């Protein structure tokens, strides 16, 4: 079945540090890939997405590239801020409007 594996958290970084959160997937067919973010006390929000191989999703300084050859969709940001502290979820969808399969989430804590 479909699955998503994310790196374990929590990840603690100083402000302005470089961020990478690893995500790999297993899926039949050609999934679309997503990163969602959950800020404290809020619902999940779509951060970025990529729908085919080699696509790069980007938003708010975050980027992730759909790598079919390594079945990966790692999230990166060049310089994190305290306000980026949240839980980040990698997810995939193998069909339009079908269910999302989520990873377990990675908590990011950014300190001054």
Partner 1 sequence: GAGVSQSPSNKVTEKGKDVELRCDPISGHTALYWYRQRLGQGLEFLIYFQGNSAPDKSGLPSDRFSAERTGESVSTLTIQRTQQEDSAVYLCASSQTGSYGYTFGSGTRLTVV
**Positions in the binding site for partner 1 (CB under 8 A):** 4, 32, 34, 36, 41-46, 49, 51, 89, 91, 93, 96-105
Between 77 and 103, CB nearer to partner 1? 103
**What φ, ψ does residue 22 adopt, rounded to 5°?**
-80, 145
- The distance of closest approach from Cβ of residue 74 to partner 1 in the complex, given in angstroms and rounded to an integer, is 17
Quick one: 67 or 107, whose CB is closer to partner 1? 107
Tokens (6 digits) for 107: 């908590």
Q: Measured from the CB atom, is 17 or 71 closer to partner 1? A: 71
Whichever of 17 and 85 has its CB closer to partner 1, that residue is 85
Q: Are residues 3 and 100 in contact, defined by beta-carbon separation less than 8 angstroms?
A: no
Taking the complex as a whole, the smallest distance from the CB of residue 49 to partner 1 amounts, in Å, to 6
Give the contacts of 72 (CB within 8 A, at least 6 positions apart). 22, 23, 24, 25
- By the 8 A CB rule, do 75 and 90 touch? yes
Instruction: Report the DSSP pairing between strands 86-93 and 32-38.
Output: antiparallel
Query: Smallest distance, Å, CB 44 to partner 1?
Result: 4
């Amino acid at each position: 079945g479909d699955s998503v594996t994310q790196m374990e958290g929590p990840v603690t970084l100083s402000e302005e540090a470089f961020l990478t959160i690893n995500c790999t997937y297993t899926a039949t067919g050609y999934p679309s890939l997503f990163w969602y973010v959950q800020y404290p006390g809020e619902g999940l929000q779509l951060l970025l997405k990529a729908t085919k191989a080699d696509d790069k999703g980007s938003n708010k300084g975050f980027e992730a590239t759909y790598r079919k050859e390594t079945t990966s969709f790692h999230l990166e940001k060049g310089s994190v801020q305290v306000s980026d502290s949240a839980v980040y979820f990698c997810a995939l969808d193998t069909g339009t409007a079908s269910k999302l399969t989520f990873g377990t989430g990675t908590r990011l804590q950014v300190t001054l």
